[in-house]
């Protein structure tokens, strides 16, 4: 996997975890076209070859911002055609992030505004520092959320709360985000990355095919009727019966030892 990026810092933490840092601190990690292209390339590459990775942690550089949203300095004076072309990159990036076969955990270390909030909401779940702030401010700029905000936010916090957040453009705190269901845990800033990595390590220690199948079953099942979701779940479950990891898990339980999963 290509790990040399201009706007991202990407590093493997052990054999199974990838730490991805949005790395434009001078611009509050705002997403310019280059960052959109690099995130798109990274997550599309993961869909093709996981290289033994089992979990991704996504955070921002510095202590003030996770991602301040789209880079409005870059967008200043853009033609309509250029704006649409840039947004196509962001749309493809978002789909690649949502489609990542392994879990993606957001460690929101500061402001997550606009597209930054949408990126966090597109992850499988979110841990946040107490000083983190969230907002979907697009309507204050004459646009609307266009990177999953009107879809992922209602699925996390419910329709009425999402309408209040999106239609006012007002910011909200990490504690409110946790109470409303967008954030899973609020963690002291000095322990945020450490505890997020600990969760990633716990996920990575589990059977990787089982984790991927369970993630897919949850994500796809929520788009189906209950009956169709149950049918999809069984198809995903049956994929695991013939795996070495299933046999290893049962064997390790009976031998009272930790299983060694190989992803086979």
Cα 222 to Cα 12: distance, rounded to the nearest angstrom: 31
Query: Which member of 74, 118, 159, 248 is catalytic?
Result: 118
Q: Are 93 and 40 in contact (CB under 8 A)?
A: yes
The total of structural domains in the chain comes to 2
* 234: CATH: 1.10.12.10
Domain membership of residue 235 (yes or no) is yes
Say whether both 153 and 230 belong to one domain: no
Say whether both 65 and 134 belong to one domain: yes
Is 138 part of the annotated catalytic residue set?
yes
Say whether both 163 and 217 belong to one domain: no
Say whether both 195 and 233 belong to one domain: no
SS3 132: coil
Say whether both 38 and 140 belong to one domain: yes
* 125: CATH: 3.90.226.10
Domain membership of residue 260 (yes or no) is no
Domain membership of residue 2 (yes or no) is no
* Domain, as residue range, for 97: 8-204
Is 164 part of the annotated catalytic residue set?
no
Q: For the chain, what is the total number of helices (H) and then of strands (E)?
A: 11, 10
Query: Which member of 11, 51, 81, 138 is catalytic?
Result: 138
Give the position of tokens 């990177």: 147
Q: What's the 3-state SS for 160-202?
A: HHHHHHHHHCCCEEHHHHHHHCCCCEECCHHHHHHHHHHHHHH
Say whether both 163 and 239 belong to one domain: no
Domain membership of residue 259 (yes or no) is no
Say whether both 50 and 96 belong to one domain: yes
Say whether both 106 and 229 belong to one domain: no
Q: Are 125 and 184 in contact (CB under 8 A)?
A: yes
Considering only CA atoms, give the Rg of the chain. Answer: 19
User: One digit per residue, pLDDT tens: the chain, 264 residues?
Assistant: 677 899 999 999 999 999 999 999 999 999 999 999 999 999 999 999 999 999 999 999 998 999 998 888 888 888 999 999 999 999 999 999 999 999 999 999 999 999 999 999 999 999 999 999 999 999 999 999 999 999 999 999 999 999 999 999 999 999 999 999 999 999 999 999 999 999 999 999 999 999 999 999 999 999 999 999 999 999 999 999 999 999 989 999 999 989 989 989
Domain membership of residue 261 (yes or no) is no
Domain membership of residue 262 (yes or no) is no
Identify the sign of the CA torsion 129, 130, 131, 133. Answer: positive
Retrieve residue 99's tokens: 């489609």
């Amino acid at each position: 996997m290509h790990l040399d990026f201009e706007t991202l810092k990407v590093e493997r933490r052990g054999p199974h975890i990838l730490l991805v840092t949005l790395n434009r601190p001078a611009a509050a990690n705002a997403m310019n076209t280059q960052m959109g292209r690099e995130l798109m390339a990274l997550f599309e590459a993961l869909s093709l070859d996981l290289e033994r990775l089992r979990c991704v942690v996504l955070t921002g550089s510095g202590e003030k911002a996770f991602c301040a949203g789209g880079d409005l300095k870059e967008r200043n004076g853009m033609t309509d055609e250029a704006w649409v072309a840039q947004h196509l990159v962001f749309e493809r990036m978002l789909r690649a992030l949502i489609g990542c076969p392994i879990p993606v955990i957001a460690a929101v270390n500061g402001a997550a505004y606009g597209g930054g909030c949408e990126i966090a909401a597109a992850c499988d779940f979110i841990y946040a520092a107490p000083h983190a702030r969230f907002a979907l401010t697009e309507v204050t700029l004459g646009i609307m959320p266009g990177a999953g905000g009107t879809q992922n936010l209602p699925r996390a916090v419910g329709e009425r709360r999402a309408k209040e957040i999106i239609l006012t453009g007002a910011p909200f705190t990490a504690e409110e985000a946790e109470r409303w269901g967008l954030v899973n845990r609020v963690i002291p800033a000095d322990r945020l990355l450490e505890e997020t990595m600990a969760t990633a390590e716990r996920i990575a220690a589990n059977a990787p095919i089982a984790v991927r199948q369970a993630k897919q079953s949850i994500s796809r099942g929520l788009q189906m009727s209950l009956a169709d979701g149950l049918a999809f779940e069984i198809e995903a479950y049956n994929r695991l019966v013939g795996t070495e990891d299933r046999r290893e898990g049962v064997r390790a339980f009976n031998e009272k030892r930790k299983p060694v999963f190989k992803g086979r």
